[in-house]
Structures are given as structure tokens and as C-alpha cells.
Chains A and B, each alone.
Chain A
Amino acid sequence: MSPIAFLRKPTFWLIVLATLAFAFVPLWHDNVELREELLIAAIYIILAANLNLMIGYAGYINFGNIVFFGLGGYVCVWLVSSHGWPLVAAALAGAAGVSFVALLFGLGILRLRGAYFALSTIGVNEGVKAFVANFTPWGGSTGIYLSIEAFQPLGGPKQALWVIYLLLVAVMGLSLLLSYAIKTSKFGLGLLAIGQNEDAAAVLGVPTPRYKALVYSASAFLPAAAGALFFFKSAFIQPDDAFDLVFSTEAIVAVMLGGQGTVIGPALGAFLYEELRSTLLTSQTFSNFQMVIAGVLLLVIVLFVPGGLMGWIHRRWPRAKRVLE
């Protein structure tokens, strides 16, 4: 779709509005509480929207999607701490590097179909985690710490936290726009065909190996950038936090909850899931319950409502499909 055509689509403006809201509402009143909450929500949205490219469009479940997030974080923090790179350059390097490695890797594991691919992604995540835990230049299992000086170029910790937040919101907006742009392109059509029936798609002339590798690589870029920003903010990265399979799982729940294959769905699912999670986070009895609730949600969706929230909305109000894609 041509850029001008985008400007006429309500979905496009919805994305822009949401992004601006995320950016300016906390900024308006210097509301640090809200900013911290929305920051986590933004990260879930980024992970879900990019994961949707694999699950929703191409129909490949990436259980280990968090590996991009963690590796992006590692590259960025390492470049900043050992080589003194500025944040934005390091984050971009992380995103580009991880995306490239994903392309190479993808050419290998994307030969696998369906469940085998899904299992291999778990293997990739755990393997990378075990490797990084033994990789001394990256701090091994103790990880890398950033000194407080790292925040000086951004104007000191207080201001740096705002800058990082706004950058993350930008990445979130880009994730949603990317998702939308792909869906409405020829590339996206090919992906959806692969998702429906890969053999038929191949017979009809869709270059399946190339498309699969490209989408795997594309789904890595923005989560890697988000990881870079997030771990820079945390001033600390270690293998268990960077490659947390639980986080990876939550992204899957978010995508399925909101509606895989739609543009708005994953973002909605991520936002709702994050609200639920943060309510449970500090509750004494229920802090472990988040896994139970996430699991029940996922089970119910998979068995009864595979289209998720957006799927239900589209069926109930077919005309909404034009506005909320």
C-alpha cells in the first residue's frame, strides 16, 4: 500500500494516537508512576506485535522469541560498557546485529515445519542462554553492570529515564506500523498464504524459504532494539533475566488473547495482560497465580476462541473490521 493510502486508514491513525498518548500523558504531569507502568506495557506490546508476524501471519510458533530481546540487550550493554558507545548507536547495532544473525539462523531452522520448528526455538533460547552464561567477555553468569556514569550523556539518571521511555514508545509505534504495513503488502499476502497451507503457497509461486527467513529476521529487529533500551535502563543484564522463558510465554499469551493475525489484537492483548499481571505482582497470595491465570486464558482461547478478542469482535460486529484491523 502506498504511504498516502495509509493516511486514509483509521487503523493507522489509531496506532499514531495510541503512541502519542503513551508518550505525552505521563510526560504532561511528570508522572513517574504512570511512566513505569506504561513502560512495561509498551514492552509487552512490542514483543507481542512482532511475535504476531510469526504466529499470526506465517503460522509458525516461536516459543523462544525472547532470545531476540535478550541478545539485543546484551549487544547494547556490552557496547556501552566495554566500548563506550552512545545508547542510540548501541541499540541500533544490537537490533541490526541480532536481526542479521536471526536471518542466518532462520535459514537453518525454518526448514523445520510446525511443531518441530516450535520445539527448536525452545532449544535455541536455552542454548543461547547456556552459551552466554559461559561466555566470559559478556560477564558469564554474573552478567554486565553499567556504572551510573553511563547515564550522564543523556543528562543524568532522572532525564535519561524519560529519554529511554520515549525511545521505547517510538519502538512500540514502529512495531505496530510494521505489523500493519506487512499485513497490507504483497509480502504479507505471501506470509498469510504460508500460514494457511505452506505447500499450496509454494506451488502457487510464493518463495516460501526466503519469505520465512525474512519474517523471522524482521520479527527480531524491534524486540532486539527494545531489549537494548530496557537493559540499558536496568543498568544490568544477566542470562536468566535476558532469556526468561516465562516472559517469552507471556508474549505468546498476549498475542493469542488479543487475536493473532490482526494488527490491533496483539497490542490489545499485551496491554490487558500487563494490567492483570501488575495487579497480581504485589499481591502476597497471588503473585504466582499469574501463570495459572495466563495458562487458563490460553487454554480457553485455544480450545474455544482461537481468534482471540479481535476475532470475537470481528465476528460480532463485522463492520468493525474496516476500522480495527
Chain B
Amino acid sequence: MFGILASIIDGVLVGSVYGLAAMGLTLIWGVMNVINLSHGAMIVAGMFGLFYLSTLLGAPAYAAIPPVVVAGFAVGVGLYWIAVHRMIGRPPLMSLLATFSVNMVLIGLGTTVWGTVLFNVPVSLPGITWQGYTFTGTHIMAAVVTGAIAGLLYLFLYRTRPGKAIRAVASNREAAELNGIPTRQVLSLAFGLGIALACSSGALIATMFPFTVLSGTAYQLKSFVVTVLGGLGNPAGALLGGVALGLLEGLMTPFMPVSWTLIAEFVVFVIVLIAFPGGLFNFRRS
């Protein structure tokens, strides 16, 4: 009994980080209709960013997260102006292939430089032990930081001018243009934000688990599942979707071999794609 509860709680904790990763993906997708297949590479960039900042500066890992977020934002805006702005308005399949190829280049360079060696950021935080089960401090902290970032994002999107501009462009770009909103700048802002979110989730994952250059792929796949669950362009939905996925994983593992959870995730993915194209948590529609 306690085992199932422990599993669910841990699932929710880690799931919130999946949600954070997906928030970046869904924001970009929703605002400019670009599916960023280099999302995984950005997550890995966040992981490495945290690793190097915390080992170079000797700073406690969590202090290194804000610089990673800022750097991620800068990289995102840069990427937008270099490659992405050419793809707005083009057939979506082309942007799919373009971001896909960017991913190949980044991961290829990554494996050339770092191989597939396992990196680990040593973080020791006291955990909470209950009935023999321990919730590691890193998992708890990751969920807390995710909540904080999500909160900040909400404030930004709903309480600031640039944030509202983003939502306007996402809703109807032409109308936003007609209203005098500089759409190009807004799109680059949104893209930078999406990448920053991806990097922050990578940084948090690095505090919890060891990683390699190839770790991003698994989290990218989870991000897609979560995005689809939560509905496109819906960051709140993405966070809920992440928690839901984590909950699902936590519910399943006590009852079936751990290796089956992956299959279940993909089945869920394909079913939701076909049956619920708007996502399960799409509050806007209702």
C-alpha cells in the first residue's frame, strides 16, 4: 500500500519536470506552429550547462540554474534569427525537417566532443523518509523549482505586456499585426522563452539523474507525449500533462515490470493523437 503511494508521489515529483520540458515545446508549437525537433538537444544543453557551471564555479547546483535559463533564452533568440524565422509560414513539414536536422547536427557534435560518457552532478540534499521509502531531496527540490518557474511564466504571460503580446500572436497573428504588435520580435521572444524552458528542465534533470549526450531523446519523446496530452500551445496543460504522465508511470510500475511503462506511454501517445487531437487538458476549448 505504502509502496504504491510512494511510487505515485515520486512519479508526480519527476513528472512535473517532464511538464516543464513540455512547456517549452508547446509554447513554440502554439505560438508559431513550429514543432521543434531539436527540443531534446536543448534539454541536453541545459544538462551540460548545469554540469559545467556547477563544476567550474563550484557553485551549488541550484544556483547555476538561473544562468542556464538566461543562456538558454539567448541561444533561443539567436537560433530564431538564424534559422527559424525563415520557416514561419512555410509548409510545416519543412520546419519539421529543418529542426530535425538541427538536432542531428547538435547531437552529432555533442557525441564527437563528449562521446557517450555518463556525466553526474553530485547534489546532496536531505530527503524525506517515510515508512521505509525515501523521497530524495533532489526530486523534491526539482518539483519546487518547476513550480516556481511555472509560476513566473504565468505571471509573465498574463501580467506583462510582452507576455500578453505573445498570447495575442498565438491566438491570431494577423489580428495582432493589425493591432500594431511587432510580431517578428514577439515570435523571437517566444522562441527564446521556449528554449529557456527546455534548458531549465535539462538543468533540473541533471540534478536528479546522470546523463549523456543522448539522454535528450528520451525526454524529447516524453515531451511530445505530454504536449499532446495537454493540448497544443497550452503551457498550463503541459504542466498538468507532465504531472499526469508521472502519475501514470508511478501507478503502473508497482504492478508491471518497469520496462513496460515505455510501451504504455507510446500507446497513450498514439491513442491521444488520434482520439483527442485537442489534448486532454484543453481548457480553452471548453
Contact = CB atoms under 8 A, between A and B. Distances in A.
A109 B86 CA distance: 30
Interface in A281-317: 285-286, 288-299, 302-303, 306
B180 interface: no
A126 B104 contact: no
Nearest to A246: B104
A123 B92 contact: no
B63 interface: no
Contacts of B106: 295
Contact of B274 (A109, A133, A134, A141): A109
Interface stretch (A38-46, A89-97, A110-118): A110-118
B270 A120 contact: yes
A108 B86 CA distance: 33
Interface string B213-253: 00001000100110010000000000000000000000000
B135 interface: no
Nearest to A298: B101
Contacts of B102: 295, 299
B266 A119 contact: no
B109 interface: yes
Nearest to B104: A295
Q: Identify whether the interface residues of B are mostly helix, strand, loop, or mixed.
A: helix
Interface residues on A, range: 35 or more
B270 to A, nearest CB: 5
Contacts of A146: none
Interface in A184-236: none
Interface string B164-203: 0000000000000000000000000000000000000000
B273 A298 contact: no
B32 to A, nearest CB: 13
B121 interface: no
Contacts, number: 118
Contact of B98 (A123, A124, A293, A303): A303
A256 interface: yes
A306 B104 CA distance: 18
A91 to B, nearest CB: 27
Contacts of A108: 270, 274
A324 interface: no
Nearest to B256: A134
A306 B93 CA distance: 12
A295 B93 contact: no
B260 interface: yes
A295 B103 contact: yes
Nearest to A55: B93
Most buried by A among B83, B101, B111, B228: B101
Interface in B65-90: 83, 86
B97 interface: yes
B125 interface: no
Given A124-B270, A289-B108, A134 B260 contact: yes
B262 A119 contact: no
Nearest to A250: B104
Given A108-B274, A123-B273, A126-B266, A299 B101 contact: yes
Contact of B108 (A111, A124, A141, A291): A291
A171 interface: no
B149 to A, nearest CB: 25
| Residue picked from A61, A114, A118, A291, most chain B C-beta under 10 Å | A291
A59 interface: yes
A88 interface: no
B98 A302 contact: yes
B93 A289 contact: no
Contacts of A252: 97
B229 to A, nearest CB: 13
B262 A130 contact: yes
B104 A292 contact: yes
Contact of A290 (B108, B217, B277): B108
Given A123-B273, A288-B112, A302-B94, A130 B105 contact: no
B101 A109 contact: no
Contacts of A163: none
Looking at A59, A63, A288, A294, which has the most chain B CB atoms within 10 Å of its CB? A288
Contacts of A131: 263
Interface string A33-63: 0000000000000000000000000010101
A302 B102 CA distance: 11
Given A114-B93, A302-B94, A127 B267 contact: yes
Given A108-B274, A119-B224, A123-B270, A292 B94 contact: no
Contact of A126 (B97, B108, B221): B221
18 contacts: A108-B270, A111-B274, A120-B269, A120-B273, A123-B266, A123-B270, A124-B266, A124-B270, A126-B262, A133-B259, A134-B260, A249-B104, A252-B97, A288-B108, A289-B112, A291-B105, A294-B104, A295-B108
Given A126-B221, A134-B259, A295-B102, 6 more contacts: A109-B274, A123-B266, A134-B257, A134-B260, A256-B97, A298-B104
Pairs of residues from A and B, 8 with the lowest C-beta to C-beta distance, nearest first:
A295-B104, A291-B108, A127-B266, A292-B108, A295-B105, A298-B101, A299-B101, A130-B262
